[in-house]
Amino acid sequence: MVKAKKSLRPRSCGHLTEEGKKYMLECIVKGLSLDETVRLTGCAKRTVLKYTARWQANGNLDSPPRKKKKRMPGNCTRFRRLRGFLLSQEDPTSRSLARDLAEKGDAISPRQVRRILREYIGARYVPKVRAQMLTPEHKAKRIKFAQDRALWDTSKVWFSDEAYFKVGLRPKNHWNLRGRRKKFRREVPHPIQVMVWGAISREARAPLQFSTGNMNWESYKKVLLKWKKDIGGVKVTRVMSLMQDGAPAHKPALKPEFAQSSKIQIVPDWPPNSCDLNPIENIWGYMAGKLQRKKFKTLEDLKAALKEVWDAIPQEMIRNAIDDVPKRLRTVIAEKGEKVTKEAKKNIE
């Protein structure tokens, strides 16, 4: 009789050890039922079914050999040209690539182009990533800002920004089987949304502030004064300044009159379209990921969830995002004002 094991659960990706395979094979050969095999091995049903199918097809539990990927022939002029056009075009499509090949005397259909790109070159048809447009003037301001703050002590700065969160929206993407009816994303024409203002530093974070309308100077002034009052109870060991972007509602805060009356020091000359330099954007993305699968019926439910996620963010995560700002500034200089990407930061010490 087969004795029950404590657990033969796969270490990763549904793969068993050699000992586990022998025990699984013994259960399958004896003709035990699915539930009995699951109880004895401690594996999931799908794992048992997978190894049972392998036994029935091949007579063993080994993984089937993987299909070798087609490699692009090294002496094929068509493939080399197509790869070159793919890298040189700003918005390459199968039609534009076929048109460029036709100009070189090699006429093929867009369908053939797509097949070559998938099977031989390894390209994928993916959506373009949205990014803010940077003009030469913007790039010059970003470079100047990064050069002026080569020795910027980010431990003395509060980084702030606004973000919008909506009620009742589902994730954009989902998994679906072939042949099934496609699921469309149902969007509310005018969803209920809330604007959240937050500020972070290496030592602490300020409580979130909510606004359901558009931000103007009067509402933003109240936000700043409340922020100053809130951080009065936070133990901060340094004289801090506040970083803000160049939104129209923020510009009056740079006037000397407001700085003297409120005693709030604002970081000047923040470059336009530079959300990639603001570490709080990492925090907004983290919060959006935490709330992505949740559904909220009312605005109050959304606010309560936002406060809960905000308070639960580890301070170490905030500290790491702020400590990464000097590296982002060096990347801006190295990339001549372009957007900061993970690939670009890898080449920066």
Residue 169: CB atoms within 10 Å: 17
Cα 134 to Cα 143: distance, rounded to the nearest angstrom: 12
d(CA 272, CA 269): 9
- Range 228-233, long-range pairs (CB < 8 A, 24+ positions): 228/262, 228/263, 228/264, 230/206, 231/158, 231/204, 231/206
Torsion of CA 291, 293, 294, 295, to 10 degrees: 120
How much is the CA Rg of the chain, to the nearest whole Å?
28
249's CB contacts (< 8 A; 6+ apart) are: 215, 216, 217, 219, 220
Q: What is the pLDDT of residues 60-92, one digit of tens each?
A: 777 777 665 555 554 478 888 888 888 888 778
- 10 Å Cβ neighbour count for 107? 11
Q: 14 — alpha (psi -120 to 50), left (phi > 0) or beta? A: left
Q: Which CATH architecture has domain 136-346?
A: 2-Layer Sandwich (3.30)
DSSP string covering 72-136, please?
A: PPTT-HHHHHHHHHHHH-SS--HHHHHHHHHHTT----HHHHHHHIIIII-----PPPP-----H
Q: What's the average model confidence in pLDDT over 137-144?
A: 93
Q: 322-345 pLDDT, tens per residue?
A: 999 999 999 999 989 888 888 888
- Between residues 117 and 192, which one has the greater pLDDT? 117
In three-state secondary structure terms, 310 is helix
Query: How far is it, in rounded angstroms, from Cα 115 to Cα 304?
Result: 50
Note the pLDDT tens digit of each residue in 224-275: 999 888 876 554 445 578 999 988 889 888 888 888 888 888 988 899 989 8
pLDDT of 172-231, one tens digit each?
Answer: 554 444 454 445 555 556 667 889 999 999 988 999 999 877 888 999 999 999 988 887
Instruction: Please provide residue 40's backbone torsions phi and psi, each rounded to the nearest 5 degrees.
Output: -75, -40
**Residues 1-60: tens digit of each pLDDT:** 555 555 555 444 456 777 778 888 888 888 888 888 888 887 888 888 888 888 888 877
Residues 87-112 pLDDT 10s: 888 778 888 889 999 998 888 898 98
Q: Specify the pLDDT at position 237.
A: 46
pTM: 0.62
Closest CA to 236 of 200, 210, 278, 279: 200
